[in-house]
Amino acid sequence: MNKTILRAALVVAAAASASVAVRAADTSGAGATFPYPIYAKWADAYKKETGNGLNYQSIGSGGGIKQIKARTVVFGATDAPLKPEELQKDELVQWPMVMGGIVPVINLDGVSPGDLALDGATLAKIFMGTVKTWDDAAIKALNPNAKLPSSAIAVVHRSDGSGTTFNFTNYLAKVSPDWKSNVGENTAVEWPVGIGAKGNEGVANNVANTKGSIGYVEYAYAKQNKLTYTKMKNHDGKVVSPTSPAFQAAAANADWTNAPGFYQILTDQPGAESWPITAATFILMPKQPKDPAAAKEALKFFDWAFTKGGKMAEELDYISMPENVVSLIKKEWADDIHDATGKPLM
């Protein structure tokens, strides 16, 4: 009897120490909250397949950048890419990992998803507070057949700093000089009008509850909450619906080869099919990692995610990077990430 207890205790202890050992080998990353669900799902599947774990802390892009600069994690993640000069200064490599689409959502009686079309200039005017009512001439001109009420537009924006806001304001700044000079682009801005709601779910909920409102959310939230999204007129002047192929078209048509450090914000990209407010989220790694073994593990994980993670990303309404971009990323890994002797890790 005693022996069995002892044996059981030993087994438990061994299992515990083994799990500690595995956890110690986990690759650690920190940063953006937007890609957290897909990174977590990939990490889970990857661990089942290879036994190697990944520990990703979604502390926000700002925190991710700080931590990778201090080299306390193996990789950092950010929604707003670092400029090439900054990458140079801190000896970091950057690439896009996965994408998402940002869609304007509205709440208007009698208007169904995709009924209304907007363009960038009008969207900027609405969020500036210069277009105040739904029957404004600018909206009517884009939707000659729609029945629009004369009610006021209630603007809903994010209250927390976020990559979604960064990409959304980046788009508005690209298409509206007024927005660029008066508001600008950042993870948080000084909003001229409207109420702030916390997180995508907060914006989605406020729009769902407020008649006459407009907000912007990640595509997944618009889809899951069955919100009324609008179509958008893109860079080429074509009206497009927010769909996976439209997001992918924006990434495929972007000029990645001439973008050092993959500094490319996917808003307002050319192409007849491209959705104008597409966003990528980025990974940051040191050019010469302190712990080459851990860095190699991380790169293997990312490689696996590019090859096998597409379907999982789709299930969570993320968009995987197009093939041509993935091969460019792998080339960058080979060219730029070295161990102390200068040998490439991948």
Residues in the site for other proteins, rule: CB under 8 A? 33, 59-63, 65, 80, 152, 154, 159-163, 183-191, 194-198, 202, 205-206, 209-210
What value, to the nearest 5°, has the Cα angle with vertex 205 and ends 201 and 208?
Answer: 140
SS3 30: strand
The answer to whether 84 touches 263, Cβ cutoff 8 Å, is yes
List b or e across 152-162, with b for residues whose CB sees 16 or more CB atoms inside 10 angstroms.
Answer: ebbbbbbbbbb
Q: Which is nearer to other proteins, 148 or 328 (CB)?
A: 148
Q: Which is nearer to other proteins, 53 or 163 (CB)?
A: 163
Beta carbon of residue 161, minimum distance to other proteins (angstroms, whole number): 3
What are 248's two structure tokens? 């992918």
H or E element in which residue 17 lies: helix 2-25
How far is the CA of 190 from the CAs of 32, 132, 165, 174, 213, in angstroms?
Answer: 21, 18, 11, 17, 19
The answer to whether 282 touches 78, Cβ cutoff 8 Å, is yes
Beta carbon of residue 150, minimum distance to other proteins (angstroms, whole number): 14
Question: Which residues 6+ apart lie within 8 Å of 204 measured at CB?
Answer: 105, 215, 217, 221, 222, 225, 227
How many helices (H) and strands (E) the chain has is answered by: 14, 13
38 has which bridge partners? none
**What number of other Cβ atoms are within 10 A of residue 258's Cβ?**
7
Q: Which is nearer to other proteins, 162 or 264 (CB)?
A: 162
Q: Which is nearer to other proteins, 17 or 209 (CB)?
A: 209
Beta carbon of residue 278, minimum distance to other proteins (angstroms, whole number): 20
Beta carbon of residue 58, minimum distance to other proteins (angstroms, whole number): 9
- Number of C-alpha atoms within 13 angstroms, CB side, residue 149? 11
Q: Which is nearer to other proteins, 188 or 326 (CB)?
A: 188
Q: Which is nearer to other proteins, 211 or 331 (CB)?
A: 211
Q: Which is nearer to other proteins, 187 or 248 (CB)?
A: 187
Beta carbon of residue 97, minimum distance to other proteins (angstroms, whole number): 18
SS3 285: strand
Beta carbon of residue 195, minimum distance to other proteins (angstroms, whole number): 4
Q: Which is nearer to other proteins, 206 or 248 (CB)?
A: 206
Task: Indicate the pairing of strand 117-118 with strand 228-229.
Answer: unpaired
How far apart CA 193 and CA 172 sit, in angstroms, is 15
Beta carbon of residue 187, minimum distance to other proteins (angstroms, whole number): 4
Q: Which is nearer to other proteins, 65 or 250 (CB)?
A: 65
Beta carbon of residue 320, minimum distance to other proteins (angstroms, whole number): 25
Residue with tokens 């080429």: 236
Beta carbon of residue 115, minimum distance to other proteins (angstroms, whole number): 24
Q: Which amino acid does the sequence have at 190?
A: E
What value, to the nearest 5°, has the Cα angle with vertex 303 and ends 95 and 257?
Answer: 35
